[in-house]
Structure 1
């Protein structure tokens, strides 16, 4: 088999400040051809899974453009148009047996509300009979047009998303089956007419999404035993993508397009899954204390090591790393010595710290520069403890082996608090983030982090207790405070 691969991976928050340009992709994942095999072999992203699959099956992989950016605002339309044109028109697909697409599913362009739909439908126009499969993030926003153009689809089953390679392998298995059968498949989309917020969505512990994923796997096994194999993948949508198609639901893939019995089975499974997802909707709703109220209680005084998370500005939800709600509350609290705040993205503050030099004391205004809607800058008198180039390689289970560049960084000390200040926005979800700054995460008495769920992949056992707090930000729990324009009001009400 000869399989063509392309990747367009970005999660867009409609309420983030600014847009995403080409340099955001170039700074994270931007490769093609033989370079991809070198760069991603052994990593725990989808391309690493595809390479593992090819080693096992003996398939030949040919790589078109692989482009992935950290979550952020909408992508500049010209950048998207160029990426999609490059993939759709790529001559590398000229003699392949099938195409695998690695997509997030919640990308938004400054003009196009569903670039992934545009990519898939244009590929289908070029290759009307070629099997095409795709893998998606759990927080994707598939459309009817996208599913009609695909032959198979998979979705991450784990949150934190530590199964990215497995999602690719499952999508490639679907593709392999279709190629061997000499046929095309079908993806059926069934929607819940609600959006499931992700605060209570982790699958590494008992909870509503764990139950939903277990149900999907159980139904898959039952259908296979009945001689009707289906690939059943629930998805949650992305609460901060203000587009009409935003909706949770399930994608069911069949290895046939026209078998009435398979179609009916897929419809029945879709209805069953949606019913069960809807029945659990209230269990996804977050009830978060304010940062100030929780820090006033000083929960760390119980002797446990705490991690207090600020999901409203979580970069993996499109946050800018710039809001100051949790930082302001921290500076007003009686913190234990050695508390770490990770992080504030403020390149101007890093430059000031670099000019001052290691050991210098200076006054800085931190945060609130990119986006003042969610709070003003905070003034601190700080000591520069460390300066770095911001480069490390992920060593934890999520996106293992991927090189990270935070841009120049500074570690500042304000009383008992150490503050990591970066030039670029990137979630503090990996041990390397802290090792870079001379910090061993397992020794932090209190961690304050702009993060939500993914941080637990690396640090779930490093802290005795976790809490999430509400602060103003582009990914805040109280979405009624965000200026939605396109998502139907009824669906927003269901979420809140």
Structure 2
């Protein structure tokens, strides 16, 4: 009976967020606590559905560590987290026949810019050369040479906005079982593309990136390859191997793996121009929104907490107030000082406080407000798609003039409506809704608003990539550099 070790470590960071993340940002599931993900739309949940359906498999859950997107993980935080993960693996790895590791791929720590590569190298050292290791990855991850040298197989998200978490885990789980039972000899080809991308063309349901992903799915489904994906990295994770890249895995056929990886990379490259953020100046967006009868969304992708931003941008609120925009505005902001003041005063009280600029003060000057406390909560909710718990800490709903603002104490993912709903607010009751995420699932906003404005605003996750100040990633890199010659080539990994 094959024994399978299960490990998870997931976080995405923005190197341009001034607030470091810490060990306490992580939700840790130890041993059998990982079974709490049964039935959830997570990679672990998907893998468990495969493993537990196999009567001859014994599972050895080791540890799961998951954190919301944030700034660079601190030195102390990384040392404690990595030690705990590797200690858990070491105590459980004896006698296992295969290993599944669920990763994001866009981590970064102070002193270790390839945390996933570090963990996989240590796990491979403990496992020895013969035990297969399969990983799953977010398509926004950065798969490094060091990671590829440790693994035998992979599965990569195929959707953005992401809805196929569990499906990716299922694909990884099936691959690991096939390796153990069928004698697959995996070959992985990697084609690096010197481009960072952002924008609406990355929406896989409608964009040109989705057309390329469907080609990856076709060659998986028709048996040409075992696995294929195109990882676009997280352009805000400034690390040495940040890039876009094609990954193709075959059963021993190096030629097919190379050809398909290079073909897809060659098809991606001419479309890099389309795959850039198309931003509208904030003043123009306000002027246009003021003439639209139906509801509109202001997308504040520059302060997207799910991409690693601090969440304390008040740029849109300030501009709307300055322009005297008169319709009903709904927004969210991370500001523990304002949330604490509201909790101290109580529901119904009027308070004088500031909003924004709590963490990223160089970008955002705090905005004074006189507001009424409409509602107080513990800031707990669940993501709509993944059903994973959110904990934003003490949270308050403040109102002033025509503004309703949900004030959070901690940054959590805001790529759905969970934190609005859990604080008694329905976005459809408002005229202008601020969304701190580059994209959401279509039905959440785009299916019913008149217009979604992708705002050009400052922030740690701005789609204006040249404005961020990359200093570590390889150069030349489009669009940071313009004149780049590119001929697709690939590197083959075969353990």
Give the superposition deviation at 1:337. 4.3
Looking at structure 2, the residues matched to 213 and 24 of structure 1 have their Cα atoms a distance apart, in angstroms, of 32
Give the superposition deviation at 1:485. 1.2
Looking at structure 2, the residues matched to 76 and 274 of structure 1 have their Cα atoms a distance apart, in angstroms, of 35
2:486 maps to what in 1? none
- Which of 272, 278, 298 is 1:281 aligned to? 272
Looking at structure 2, the residues matched to 462 and 64 of structure 1 have their Cα atoms a distance apart, in angstroms, of 44
Looking at structure 1, the residues matched to 80 and 472 of structure 2 have their Cα atoms a distance apart, in angstroms, of 26
Q: Which runs of structure 2 are paired with 1:445-484 in the superposition (5 Å)? A: 445-454=431-440, 456=442, 458-484=444-470
In the alignment, does 2:232 pair up with 1:232?
A: no
Q: Which has the higher helix share?
A: 1
Offset from partner CA, 1:15-66 (integer Å, 9 cap, x none) = 00121111100xxx310211121x2222111121122222333333221110
1:69 maps to what in 2? 67
Which shows bigger deviation, 276-285 or 353-362?
353-362
In structure 2, relative to structure 1, the CA distance for the partners of 1:193 and 1:239 (3 Å cut) is same
Looking at structure 2, the residues matched to 97 and 183 of structure 1 have their Cα atoms a distance apart, in angstroms, of 15
Give the superposition deviation at 1:243. 1.2
Offset from partner CA, 1:235-257 (integer Å, 9 cap, x none) = 1011111111001111112334x
Contact 1:429 1:456 in 2 (8 A): no
Looking at structure 2, the residues matched to 7 and 73 of structure 1 have their Cα atoms a distance apart, in angstroms, of 20
1:84 maps to what in 2? 82
- Which of 222, 237, 243 is 1:241 aligned to? 237
Offset from partner CA, 1:136-178 (integer Å, 9 cap, x none) = 0111111122112111111110001110111111111111111
Looking at structure 2, the residues matched to 67 and 462 of structure 1 have their Cα atoms a distance apart, in angstroms, of 36
Looking at structure 1, the residues matched to 180 and 75 of structure 2 have their Cα atoms a distance apart, in angstroms, of 34
In structure 2, relative to structure 1, the CA distance for the partners of 1:52 and 1:463 (3 Å cut) is farther
In structure 2, relative to structure 1, the CA distance for the partners of 1:430 and 1:9 (3 Å cut) is same
Instruction: State the SS of the aligned residue for 1:295.
Output: helix
Contact 2:302 2:309 in 1 (8 A): yes
Instruction: State the SS of the aligned residue for 1:200.
Output: helix
1:366 maps to what in 2? 355
Offset from partner CA, 1:53-105 (integer Å, 9 cap, x none) = 22333333221110011111111233333333343442222122210110011
Q: In structure 2, list runs of 5 or more residues that go unmatched.
A: 483-495
- Which of 55, 58, 61 is 1:60 aligned to? 58
- TM score, norm. by length of structure 2: 0.92
Contact 1:195 1:495 in 2 (8 A): no
Looking at structure 2, the residues matched to 456 and 336 of structure 1 have their Cα atoms a distance apart, in angstroms, of 27
- TM score, norm. by length of structure 1: 0.91
- Which of 234, 249, 257 is 1:266 aligned to? 257
Give the superposition deviation at 1:363. 1.8
In the alignment, does 2:477 pair up with 1:491?
A: yes
Looking at structure 1, the residues matched to 62 and 145 of structure 2 have their Cα atoms a distance apart, in angstroms, of 25
Looking at structure 2, the residues matched to 495 and 34 of structure 1 have their Cα atoms a distance apart, in angstroms, of 48
In structure 2, relative to structure 1, the CA distance for the partners of 1:267 and 1:209 (3 Å cut) is same
1:218 maps to what in 2? 218
Looking at structure 2, the residues matched to 440 and 36 of structure 1 have their Cα atoms a distance apart, in angstroms, of 33
Looking at structure 2, the residues matched to 434 and 428 of structure 1 have their Cα atoms a distance apart, in angstroms, of 9
Give the superposition deviation at 1:417. 1.1
In structure 2, relative to structure 1, the CA distance for the partners of 1:239 and 1:469 (3 Å cut) is same
1:34 maps to what in 2? 32
Contact 1:11 1:105 in 2 (8 A): yes
Looking at structure 2, the residues matched to 486 and 460 of structure 1 have their Cα atoms a distance apart, in angstroms, of 36
Contact 1:230 1:266 in 2 (8 A): no
Give the superposition deviation at 1:367. 0.8
In the alignment, does 2:47 pair up with 1:50?
A: yes
Contact 2:356 2:365 in 1 (8 A): yes
In the alignment, does 2:307 pair up with 1:322?
A: no
In the alignment, does 2:389 pair up with 1:416?
A: no
Which shows bigger deviation, 361-370 or 450-459?
450-459
